[in-house]
Structure 1
């Protein structure tokens, strides 16, 4: 859906100038520049980030910000075709066990230090394999990285890993500065909130919980880029305010469904905005609800099946996501077309009578107050949909005799509560399913990815040796037909065990003023560097 019409600009830039975020002289100076270069892109979002890089957090706020500060080895054109970034050439050995990358010469970190192969080796072996929410699975077979010279990095694998070559972009695998991380506590390093990358933008200012301002990297290795002078991200808790900012000209674009779906669809009908669902190939996303299987009530599969029957995922998809997606039917996303199946996969149609029967069978009769037991539900504050859906889930589970308390928290506390403290029963959130199941799906089901302290990992504490075996085999299988069958069997088993209920496979969207040009030019869209974006004056 694309519309075009000019939109009146308001005085928001002048307001930012008054706060010191943007020099007032810069605003007037824009008109003197070429139409295809420059401008200030303003976008509201929520929640605010905990860190400013996605190497140590796969949360949505970090995933958006990190690619502006950092580069990956590769980028991806539409269709997930790899293209050069920090790596200019690459080759895979015939047996799939060695990948050789030739690295770009003359690249500098934001502090002026040279980028070398040592940075690549350190990033993958010491950061991504250890601290990244998906890295433990994605790079499990990466045994070492050889650096015969400053511009060659050789990945040595214990097994072929088909997904790895799809996981080398600046969001999934940002290359970090070894000279600033070596010998430090990675998670406590101050660079985590004061990024020093090789990317097209530098950090100008960061007001915790309020805004992130990025400024053009004048020494960026890609001559002529970035085109924007600045990107200003404001963290606004109220979704209606974010929508009003875009509609009123106080923001230029909204990415990653950062306003409710009904507002996206409404604004897309107005001529001054355009909406696209392109640019999310690397991030097919889903809303899902995980059970904490360390809770003895939820450890009973009958209880989990009952809860699944009590929740109408069709209703949530239509009334919370406004049809921007499909009801969940499998651990995989429907856009993972090569492997997604419903053949033989258990289904849980909405049926409160069946839910009540299963809960009775599980040995949880109703008490005098009509309730069987109580549970805590933690919805993610990322976007609005999980908080909205949690109200529906609370009510419908009450009808099944389950007393649900909804606990809302800021994003950092939410992640700590669920994945560090494990002080949760049910958790409702959106997450990337990955361009390949190895990258996004395995982390929720592989027992080896039960890793307290790492957000969006196996928070259910699910463990099934047969599932582990299937996932391990699929991660290295190069025969596509065999791999499809491995994933089909995984879906059948895992959706019977049901440690996670898939609620909605989301269709993500970007909506922008028509003056914002080239915001979606490849498979990464807004989750890329945005170095090519410019604003028509």
Structure 2
């Protein structure tokens, strides 16, 4: 045997030994964690802001870190809203009064007791200082007219009108301690340690903006379900796959091409996420008034090959988005709306020989770049020329919020929320507040029928009546094509069940790491 072959065989043997050692180390770490009283879960890090209601970044990873610290009156599980800080509630006066009875012996992280006074203060403070995720604003107005303390553990909210969405809006706002925040004049400058004192299951013990590090430790005097995870760490990761396989992090969002590493392997468990994350193409009809022509918007609908996007960008792990916006897995999804299959001839007929040029704003992620490339190529065949401008994702989000674009591609979660998200997305009002990249951002679009239906569904407390309106709303949206929902992703969540097997999905969200209940004991 030649020297070259001997070297190759030796190299392969060394790699095999190293791989075996790596697997042994992972198994040893799992065994240590299993027998240790302190269970530490490590997740992929990245900076999402200081986790107060006012300073986290607008996207989900920032908000859900904040929610580990700050509890709300209600919480969400697999089926819907559940009691949390409030042990029970009732709705009176034809939907204009909400009365919540609080659990007793709830403590803030500094040992002070939570009372109804803290709850009243929170909502009054939010009116003066809106948080990042401000669910209390509907059509530009704060929904709370008054907050009355009945006793130390009972509180009543009087709202401006009956509305099918108000229970969730009021119930899911994070509660902040009055004794800390009553003297804070500018919450956007409040970075002190006291700013992250909440009454939630975890305390923030370390944060590094530069490294994207967070460390949350279980609060020993937590009022609610016992924490199953003692420490949650978000750590810097350059290669998530390598970090997961080395045991540096405990979960992985896997693409279809690497799933065979983990499927049918007893050391791993794979769950399939709901398609509640997706991409959409936004039209700015203020900056480009010709887009107010529905026929031109339909050229985009027929001229973009969205099946191709699913196959080449999502690698098959996705579904073509509904032109009515609500995904197929959404319980309010209408399957009988107008479809827009890829059809170059229909697109050419609608554009009728005209040519257009548009600037397309995108983030700098490889997937968005690929989406833009495919859209540009596809639309060039029907007479639409696209100039792509790529910036970092935070800059893109800011430009979209300001309306400083012609066309934009944006990806985000939140597609599984209450169907009132259709009003958030499509209702036309200059006074509407856009709280996140998942809200609004359709400048210049106006449709009276959509406005009428969007307002009607909020006032329908009867499920069947509201469902009929939501179905009709999706039909009109699909006919009008105010934007192009491109595709929804279907992620594969991989973890080691021997290390931890408590992950769960809420009914309206796509990612178990974001769910507070994933880290707590369940009945």
TM-score, normalised via structure 1 length: 0.79
CA contact (8 A) 1:243 1:263 kept: no
Q: SS of 1:190's equivalent? A: coil
**Equivalent residue for 2:514?**
527
**Relative contact order: is structure 1 or structure 2 higher (C-alpha 8 Å, sep ≥ 6)?**
1
Match of residue 488, structure 1, among 449, 471, 478: 471
Q: SS of 1:517's equivalent? A: coil
Q: Name the CA shift for 1:74/1:517 in 2 (closer, same or farther; >3 Å).
A: same
Per-residue deviation, residues 38-89 of structure 1 (Å, max 9, x unmatched):
221111156x314524677551221331221121212233222x33321122
Give the Cα separation in 1 of the matches to 2:372 and 2:226. 43
Per-residue deviation, residues 117-165 of structure 1 (Å, max 9, x unmatched):
2333344454389442654239964433222333222122333322333
Q: Is 1:376 matched up with 2:360?
A: yes
Name which one, 1 or 2, has greater alpha-carbon Rg.
Answer: 2
- Superposition deviation, residue 419 in structure 1: 0.6
Match of residue 321, structure 1, among 301, 314, 324: 314
Q: Name the CA shift for 1:358/1:44 in 2 (closer, same or farther; >3 Å).
A: same
**Equivalent residue for 1:145?**
147
RMSD of equivalent CA atoms? 3.6
Per-residue deviation, residues 86-133 of structure 1 (Å, max 9, x unmatched):
112212227232221111223233344432323333444543894426
**Equivalent residue for 1:518?**
502
- Superposition deviation, residue 209 in structure 1: 4.7
CA contact (8 A) 1:302 1:358 kept: yes
Q: Name the CA shift for 1:277/1:161 in 2 (closer, same or farther; >3 Å).
A: farther
**Equivalent residue for 1:17?**
none
Q: Name the CA shift for 1:11/1:483 in 2 (closer, same or farther; >3 Å).
A: closer
Q: Name the CA shift for 1:386/1:109 in 2 (closer, same or farther; >3 Å).
A: farther
**Equivalent residue for 2:485?**
502
Q: Is 1:70 matched up with 2:85?
A: no
Q: SS of 2:104's equivalent? A: coil
Task: Spell out structure 1 runs of 4+ moving beyond 6 A.
Answer: none
CA contact (8 A) 2:278 2:412 kept: yes
Give the Cα separation in 2 of the matches to 1:195 and 1:360. 58
- Superposition deviation, residue 518 in structure 1: 0.9
- Superposition deviation, residue 246 in structure 1: 1.3
**Equivalent residue for 1:3?**
none
CA contact (8 A) 1:327 1:503 kept: yes
CA contact (8 A) 1:287 1:428 kept: yes
For these two proteins, the number of residue pairs brought into alignment is 488
Give the Cα separation in 1 of the matches to 2:342 and 2:394. 33
Q: Name the CA shift for 1:188/1:394 in 2 (closer, same or farther; >3 Å).
A: farther
CA contact (8 A) 1:416 1:453 kept: no
CA contact (8 A) 2:423 2:455 kept: no
CA contact (8 A) 2:303 2:347 kept: yes
Q: Name the CA shift for 1:531/1:326 in 2 (closer, same or farther; >3 Å).
A: closer
After superposition, where does 1:96-495 map in structure 2 within 5 Å? Answer: 96-127=95-126, 130-131=130-131, 132=133, 134-137=135-138, 141-167=143-169, 173-182=173-182, 184-190=185-191, 195-222=196-223, 225-236=226-237, 241-254=239-252, 257=253, 259-263=254-258, 267-277=262-272, 284-296=276-288, 297-329=290-322, 330-337=324-331, 339-343=332-336, 345-360=337-352, 364-365=354-355, 372-379=356-363, 381=365, 385-420=367-402, 422-423=404-405, 425-438=407-420, 440-448=421-429, 450-451=432-433, 455-461=437-443, 462-495=445-478
Select between 467-476 and 453-462 the one with higher mean Cα deviation: 453-462
CA contact (8 A) 2:422 2:454 kept: no
* Structure 1: gaps (5+ residues): 1-6, 14-26, 366-371
Per-residue deviation, residues 408-431 of structure 1 (Å, max 9, x unmatched):
433432221211363452232123
**Equivalent residue for 1:18?**
none
TM-score, normalised via structure 2 length: 0.81
**Equivalent residue for 2:90?**
91
After superposition, where does 1:41-60 map in structure 2 within 5 Å? Answer: 41-45=41-45, 48-53=47-52, 58-60=58-60
Give the Cα separation in 2 of the matches to 1:264 and 1:126. 47
Give the Cα separation in 1 of the matches to 2:173 and 2:249. 29
Q: Name the CA shift for 1:387/1:512 in 2 (closer, same or farther; >3 Å).
A: farther
Give the Cα separation in 1 of the matches to 2:244 and 2:393. 23
* Structure 2: gaps (5+ residues): 1-21
Q: SS of 2:440's equivalent? A: coil
- Superposition deviation, residue 220 in structure 1: 3.5
Q: Name the CA shift for 1:374/1:39 in 2 (closer, same or farther; >3 Å).
A: same
Q: Name the CA shift for 1:398/1:178 in 2 (closer, same or farther; >3 Å).
A: farther
- Superposition deviation, residue 351 in structure 1: 1.6
Give the Cα separation in 2 of the matches to 1:422 and 1:266. 44
Q: Name the CA shift for 1:193/1:107 in 2 (closer, same or farther; >3 Å).
A: closer
